[in-house]
Amino acid sequence: MRIYAIEVPSAIVSIVVTLEVYTCNFFSSFASQTGEAATEKFVNSKLKDQPKMADSSSTTSADSSTQIEKGWGALKKHVISNKIMAGLWATRLFTLLFTIGYIIPLFGNPYNAYYKVLMSSAATSALRLHQRVPVVQLNLQFVEMLLLEDSCHYLLYSLIFLYVSPVTLVLVPLFLFALLHFASYSLTLLDALGQNSCWPVRLAISLVEFQSRNILRLCALCEIMILPLTIILVFTGRAGLLTPFVYYQFLKMRLSSRRNQYTRNTFYEIRTALTAASVSPSLPGFLRYAVKIILTITQQMEPAPVQQ
Mean pLDDT of 178-194: 89
Please report whether residue 90 resides in a domain. yes
| pLDDT higher than 50, residue 42 | no
Please report whether residue 144 resides in a domain. yes
Please report whether residue 31 resides in a domain. no
Instruction: Check residue 40 and give its pLDDT.
Output: 52
Read off the pLDDT of residues 53-70 as tens digits, 9 standing for 90 and up.
444 444 444 444 445 567
Phi, psi for 203 (deg, rounded to 5): -65, -45
Q: Which structural domain range is residue 134 located in?
A: 72-211
Report the C-alpha gap between 155 and 162 in whole angstroms: 11
Please report whether residue 30 resides in a domain. no
Let me know: does 86 contact 94? Beta carbons within 8 Å: no
How far, in Å, are 149, 150, 203 from residue 157 at the CA level? 13, 10, 32
Instruction: Check residue 69 and give its pLDDT.
Output: 65
Let me know: does 89 contact 182? Beta carbons within 8 Å: yes
Where helices occur in the chain by DSSP H, the ranges are 10-67, 72-81, 83-103, 110-132, 140-147, 150-160, 168-193, 199-210, 212-235, 243-255, 262-278, 285-299
pLDDT band (50, 70, 90) for residue 238:
very high
| pLDDT higher than 70, residue 292 | yes
Please report whether residue 12 resides in a domain. no
Report the C-alpha gap between 157 and 141 in whole angstroms: 22
Mean pLDDT of 146-167: 93
Residue from 168, 89, 159, 167 nearest 118 by CA: 159
| pLDDT higher than 70, residue 34 | no
Please report whether residue 102 resides in a domain. yes
**Consecutive H or E run containing 242:** none
| pLDDT higher than 90, residue 152 | yes
With 0-12 / 13-18 / 19 or more C-beta atoms within 10 angstroms meaning exposed / middle / buried, residue 153 is buried
Mean pLDDT of 233-238: 93
Residue type, 196: N
Q: How many independent structural domains does the chain possess? A: 1
Q: Interior CA angle at 92 toward 85 and 254, to 5°?
A: 95
| pLDDT higher than 80, residue 33 | no
Please report whether residue 93 resides in a domain. yes
Instruction: Check residue 114 and give its pLDDT.
Output: 96
Residue environment code for 176-191, b if the CB has 16+ CB neighbours within 10 A, otherwise e: bbbbbbbbebbeebbe
Please report whether residue 302 resides in a domain. no
